[in-house]
């Protein structure tokens, strides 16, 4: 039995396989325990294997590639339209197989273990920042229940804790609020340690250093771009900007073009970093400033600042693709000569 493509619907313990031949006829429907998957594929000749893109799929993609198979990771939003009626593991596997057969579909590249390890540092930092924000909000909210109000910001935490200690609140309120303060201090130290590690990773990554020469791209954004994006996977910078979700969502029909808000597709973390960096450039955009181009100044005269920032983030993504694909640093455009 010669199979053209095998789709795998992964889970924690049992994987569902769906295989078709060159004519598209179903030749394989099978469930395998997690520990038997590589043993099964080790006995097969090189075959195209399709999986739905998720965190664990990169591990299985690397393992299957070591066995000589051709792996394609299919984005989940491209699989969903092919699920027939009731959702179950067999239908999901069949939908993955059907989506992988589409010639125009762009698969997700299989990440190396080293790349995923680097991204884990970024994701851990993001989680700790979210936990710190949650703890600060809890501290401010609970203190406000006793009439102690503080403005937003980490700089206001220490004065608030001092006010709590001096307010003579009934037990156990001071103890609980101090516990939240200690948690915020612990998270501050952990985030600072990760920031130092990320700075070292940035200095050791030539692509990240080149990307940091782009206005609005700091070490954190540059390192995220360097670890997440392979420029060879995109035909142009416009394709990269669209993949990140920085292009308008289209609702066009009957020859009439209708553009909505940005699509917000792709990597949410990367899109947020680019827009935040663009907002920093927009904030200090003044005539004569080095970071403000005539294009941006003209855009700010016609459009709101946040809309201009999204447009600038789109441009930054396209510039980042050019910097990565050419292996050069960013060069500012020369002013036009009258």
The pTM score is 0.85
Give residue-wise pLDDT tens across range 246-262. 988 888 887 788 877 88
Check: CB of residue 206 under 8 Å from CB of residue 318.
no
pLDDT of residue 54: 87
d(CA 96, CA 207) in angstroms, rounded, equals 34
Give residue-wise pLDDT tens across range 156-204. 999 999 999 998 899 999 999 999 999 999 999 999 999 999 999 999 9
The phi, psi pair for 333, rounded to 5°, reads -65, 140
Pairing of strands 70-74, 248-250: unpaired
Residue 237 sits at the vertex; the CA angle it makes with 58 and 109, to the nearest 5 degrees, is: 10
In the block, which residue shows the tokens 């392979």?
A: 230
pLDDT of residue 337: 47
Burial 256-265 (b: 16+ CB within 10 A, else e): eeeeeebbeb
Alpha helices in the chain (DSSP H): 37-42, 57-66, 76-79, 89-100, 113-144, 157-166, 173-203, 206-211, 219-228, 237-244, 268-283, 294-302, 305-326
pLDDT of residue 219: 94
pLDDT of residue 338: 44
Residue 89: HSE in the Cβ half-sphere, 13 Å Cα cutoff: 14
What is the residue-level pLDDT of the chain in tens, covering all 338 positions?
689 999 999 988 999 999 999 998 999 999 999 999 999 999 999 999 999 998 889 999 999 999 999 999 999 888 999 998 888 999 999 999 999 999 888 888 899 999 999 999 999 999 999 999 999 999 999 999 999 999 999 999 999 999 999 988 999 999 999 999 999 999 999 999 999 999 999 999 999 999 999 999 999 999 999 999 989 988 899 999 988 999 888 888 877 888 778 888 778 899 999 999 999 999 888 887 776 788 888 888 898 999 999 999 999 999 999 999 999 999 887 655 44
**Residue 281: beta bridge partners?**
none
- Enumerate long-range contacts of 122-131, CB under 8 Å, 24 or more apart: 122/198, 122/220, 122/223, 122/224, 122/227, 122/269, 123/269, 124/194, 125/191, 125/194, 125/195, 125/198, 126/269, 128/187, 128/190, 128/191, 128/194, 129/191, 131/187
């Amino acid at each position: 039995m010669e199979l053209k493509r095998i789709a795998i619907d992964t889970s924690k313990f049992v994987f569902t396989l769906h295989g078709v031949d060159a004519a598209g006829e179903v030749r394989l429907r099978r469930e395998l325990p997690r520990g038997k998957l590589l043993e099964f594929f080790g006995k097969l000749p090189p075959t195209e294997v399709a999986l739905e893109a998720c965190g664990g799929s990169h591990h299985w993609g690397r393992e299957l590639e070591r066995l000589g198979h051709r792996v394609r990771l299919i984005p989940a939003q491209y699989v969903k339209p092919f699920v027939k009626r009731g959702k179950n593991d067999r239908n999901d596997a069949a939908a993955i197989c059907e989506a992988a057969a589409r010639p125009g579909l762009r698969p997700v590249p299989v990440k190396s273990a080293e790349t995923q390890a680097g991204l884990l540092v970024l994701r851990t930092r993001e989680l700790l920042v979210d936990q710190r924000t949650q703890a600060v909000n809890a501290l401010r909210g609970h203190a406000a229940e006793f009439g102690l109000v503080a403005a937003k910001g980490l700089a206001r935490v220490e004065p608030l804790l001092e006010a709590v200690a001096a307010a003579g609140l009934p037990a156990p309120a001071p103890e609980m609020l101090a516990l939240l303060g200690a948690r915020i201090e612990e998270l501050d130290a952990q985030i600072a340690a990760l920031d130092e590690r990320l700075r070292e990773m940035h200095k050791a990554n030539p692509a990240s250093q080149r990307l940091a020469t782009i206005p609005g791209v700091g070490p954190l954004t540059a390192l995220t771009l360097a670890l997440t994006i392979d420029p060879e996977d995109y035909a142009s910078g416009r394709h990269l900007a669209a993949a990140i979700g920085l292009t308008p969502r289209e609702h066009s029909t009957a020859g009439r073009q209708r553009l909505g808000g940005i699509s917000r597709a792709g990597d949410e973390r990367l899109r947020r970093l680019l827009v935040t960096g663009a907002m920093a450039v927009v904030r200090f955009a003044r005539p004569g400033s080095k970071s403000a181009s005539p294009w941006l100044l003209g855009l700010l005269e016609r459009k709101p600042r946040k809309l201009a920032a999204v447009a600038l983030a789109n441009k930054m993504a396209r510039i980042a693709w050019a910097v990565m694909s050419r292996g050069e640093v960013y060069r500012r455009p020369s002013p036009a000569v009258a």
